[in-house]
Amino acid sequence: MKSLRDALAEESFVLDLDAHRIEDIFSDTLDYLVARNLLPADERDAVEASLLKREASASTAIGHAVAVPHAYLDAVAQPRIVFVRLNHPVNLGAPDGIPTHFVFMLLGPTGSEARHLDTLTTVARLMADDEFRFDAGEARNSGELLAALDRFDARASVPIREERREIPEDLVATGMPLGGILQDVRRKLPTYASDFRDGLNPKCMASTLFLYFACLAPAVTFGGLMAVATGGQIGAVEMLLASAVCGVVYALTAGQPLIILGGTGPLLVFTGILYELCVARELPFLETYAWVGLWTAFFLVLLAVTDASSWIRFFTRFTDEIFAALISIIFIVEAVTHLIEYFEDESLNELGHDTALLSLLLALGTFYIATNLGRFRRSRYLRPRVREFLADFGPAIAVSCMTLVAVWLHEVSLERLSVPEAFGTTTGRPWQVDLFSAPRWIWFAAAGPAALAAILMYLDQNITARLVNNNDHNLKKGAGYHLDLAIVGVLTGVCSVFGLPWLVAATVRSLNHLRSLATLGEVQTQHGETHERIIRVRENRVTGLAIHLLIGLSLVLLTYLRDIPMAVLYGLFLYMGVVTLSGNQFFERLSLWVMDWDLYPSTHYIRKVPIRIVHSFTLMQTICLGILWFVKVSTLAILFPLFIALLVPVRLVAGRFFEPEHLEALDAEEEPEDEETHWAG
């Protein structure tokens, strides 16, 4: 390490060398050394010939984006290390297949090879460290390179047993009222200013543009479906307004600003159930909804004040997978059900058949385009940036294309998104709900369904927050579980008073936000495969703020939103459901039931757990999911959030019937680093 530090201190390095071949790398680097009198000019050609000869025998690229070419000649007076960062990675035939971005050139007199053995070991350790590679890629001078070395030394000196705690620090209950919230504020306040500075970056601008469309399409979709579920009393305008206002407030005040608030499947279902109960009992919906929302806000704030978010540590992969599966099935069933209704409700005349058929084609077209553009990221065609653009904007492109088809075929009558001609509520009602026009007993009886809604929002918010704050994402500024839950509670109360939909952390949009701000690196598995790993995320508040301001400005486009057919939104809903299935290990294990056992993939749990135990664990999850779905569609539908919470004791009881080592493999919080899903499409 000392020799590396000395080399960097005397500026024996070249940053952003514009070379595309190994010959150019050697030539330009040696010219730099000659210009700085670090290598005699008359010995330059001999050193270059020696380097090329060594490279011809075998590539010196050792993996992790680094190559270590070396030459030892009598003409070189003393051992020397030269660090080179390439402007464009070059494929030098590394064993892990990752193009070379960094070069450590070792030069010395004949017989000095042994003196560089320690340097080779240090280089290998350095470049295996994701954070050092990121820091080295961002450094602008020797001071920043030396600082990167110091940070590596600091990380390497931490005992392994302290790197990961059994309970994350931000999920440890303080035992004091407001203790968790105050702790979150103390943790996040020192980084508040940097959250805005770090957002002034071109990567954040690209993230804002991508997430604007990625959030606008689901907001319009959930708004349209919310209008269907509530008889038009809460629609797309309300959803867009709530998304804009709540998103801006959350971006400015939340402990974890990478989380995106939005409508979710379970909340949509709960709101629809509440509406049906109000209709069945002839109760005013918006007034009842407002009182339920106010009680829900109270319960959420109470949970935040009492550090209840720390309980989320008891929710394991077992619970997460079932919850995610329920969301996927809700998306798919809701989309298919509404499409079937076109064929059942329309009259049998020719116009009715045309409407039903075109609606089906628009939905399937939206699903097909969005799905295939999403897969285009792995295509071999076009340039990487174009592939990324098409994949990121797939849903928005699909909605736009199918809406244009519907406009072109304007002769066929279609159900359109219900929005007013000018800014205002969907039905034309006043914005503020008259709370006191509801029967007085509703003021207190609303606490019952509100407790269930609070459970649902608590789970939605904290499960998503835990996924965002996963250790694999290498976030540096800490989480804010308790503070964020309190903010969601306050926003829920405000939205309820104005008849706006309740919003909570949206899993897919939040993870897309995080990934759009991430710097990715490639790593090699033990099986010789490569996959991406997040090295650093640009944590900031600017992107979330800008995304939701743009969504607010979209309210001036209401005239154009009215052209979107509901069938297109159902197709997008179907796409969201199918995409949510991807990466859910529960569905992967479920597919083993119909797979040839000789062709089972070599995943970590199949290698470590007997197949009989794997199937038993999957069967238990399937039964739990079946019970949840039965409750959702039965007269007990309002209780389905409670049954989701009961998954935790079910998982605890399961520990009595499975060996601890088997559960550790099947219910691991994270997949092993050397494994990538074998079901990726």
pLDDT attached to residue 98? 78
Pick the residue with more confidence: 200 or 64?
A: 200
Provide the percentage of residues in the chain whose pLDDT is more than 70: 90
pLDDT in tens, 259-286: 999 988 788 889 999 999 999 989 999 9
For the four alpha carbons of 467, 570, 636 and 616, in that order, the dihedral sign comes to: negative
pLDDT at position 523 is: 55
Model confidence at 527: pLDDT above 70: no
Per-residue confidence (pLDDT) for residue 300, from 0 to 100: 96
Residue with the larger pLDDT of the pair 501 and 72: 501
Q: What does the pLDDT look like over 178-206, one tens digit per residue?
A: 889 999 999 999 999 999 998 888 778 87
pLDDT tens-place string over residues 240-257: 999 999 999 999 999 999
The per-residue pLDDT for 624 is: 92
- Ordered by start, the domain boundaries in the chain are 2-156, 179-666
Please give the pLDDT value at position 670.
Answer: 52
Q: State how far the Cα of 342 lies from the Cα of 415, in Å rounded to an integer.
A: 10
pLDDT attached to residue 164: 43
> How far is it, in rounded angstroms, from Cα 231 to Cα 427?
10
The confidence band for 161, taking pLDDT boundaries of 50, 70 and 90, is: very low
pLDDT tier, 399 (very low <50, low <70, confident <90, very high otherwise): confident
For tokens 């017989």, what's the residue?
A: 111
The stretch 382-405 carries a mean pLDDT of 82
To 5 degrees, how large is the angle CA 472–CA 128–CA 147?
Answer: 90
Q: Are strands 518-524 and 261-262 parallel, antiparallel or unpaired?
A: unpaired
Ranges 163-177, 286-300, 650-664: which has the least confidence: 163-177
The pLDDT, as a whole number, for residue 680 is: 34
How far apart, in Å, are the Cα atoms of 108 and each of 80, 117, 206, 459?
Answer: 6, 12, 46, 61
Q: What percent of the chain has pLDDT over 90?
A: 26
d(CA 457, CA 268) in angstroms, rounded, equals 11
- Residue 74: helix, strand or coil by DSSP? coil
pLDDT value for 256: 93
Please count the other Cβ atoms lying within 10 Å of the Cβ belonging to residue 555: 16
Give yes or no for a contact between 323 and 459, defined as CB atoms under 8 angstroms apart.
Answer: yes
Most confident of 42-46, 418-422, 530-534: 42-46
Q: Residue 252's pLDDT is what?
A: 95
Q: What angle do CA 560, 364, 270 make, to 5 degrees?
A: 75
Q: What is the pLDDT of residues 571-598, one digit of tens each?
A: 887 887 887 777 678 888 888 898 887 7
How far lies 162's CA from each of 155, 166, 310, 473, 673, in Å?
Answer: 11, 10, 20, 18, 19
pLDDT of residue 222: 86
Q: Could you report the per-residue pLDDT of 458-483, keeping only the tens digit for each?
A: 988 998 898 888 877 788 888 899 99
pLDDT surpassing 60 at residue 681: no
Question: How does pLDDT run across 499-521, given as a tens digit for each residue?
Answer: 999 999 988 788 878 887 887 66
Give the mean model confidence (pLDDT) for residues 157-172: 59
8 A C-beta contact, residue 236 and residue 227: yes
Section 79-89 average pLDDT: 84
Q: What confidence score (pLDDT) does residue 247 get?
A: 95
pLDDT at 7: 66
Write down the pLDDT at residue 163.
Answer: 41
Q: What is the pLDDT of residue 528?
A: 47
The pLDDT, as a whole number, for residue 675 is 45
Q: What is the mean pLDDT of the chain?
A: 83
Phi-psi region of 397 (alpha: psi -120 to 50; beta: other; left: phi over 0): alpha
Write down the pLDDT at residue 676: 41
Which has more confidence, 212 or 530? Answer: 212
Q: Tell me the pLDDT band of 540, cut-offs 50, 70 and 90.
A: very high
247-269: burial string, b at 16+ Cβ within 10 Å, e else: bbbbbebbbbbbbbbbbbbbbbb
Spatial CA neighbour of 105 closest among 69, 62, 72: 69
pLDDT in tens, 298-345: 999 999 999 998 888 887 888 888 888 888 888 888 889 888 888 876
**Global pTM exceeds 0.85:** no
Label residue 678 by pLDDT band (50, 70, 90).
very low
122 pLDDT more than 90: no
442/469 Cα distance (integer angstroms): 39
pLDDT the model gives residue 259:
94
The reported pLDDT for the residue numbered 315 is 79
Between the two ends of the chain, the Cα-to-Cα distance in Å is 43
Element (H, E) at 171: none
Assigned CATH for 2-156: 3.40.930.10
Q: Find out whether 14 and 29 touch, Cβ atoms under 8 Å.
A: yes
Relative orientation angle of helices 202-229 and 394-408, to the nearest 10 degrees: 50
Query: Tokens in use for 489?
Result: 């509670």
Q: What is the mean pLDDT of residues 393-417?
A: 86
For the ranges 49-53, 117-121, 587-591, which has the lowest average pLDDT? 117-121
Strongest mean pLDDT among 344-353, 381-390, 496-505? 496-505
Tokens standing for residue 124: 């290998």
Closest listed residue to residue 89, CA positions, set 109, 75, 103, 77: 103
Q: How many helices (H) and strands (E) does the chain have?
A: 30, 10
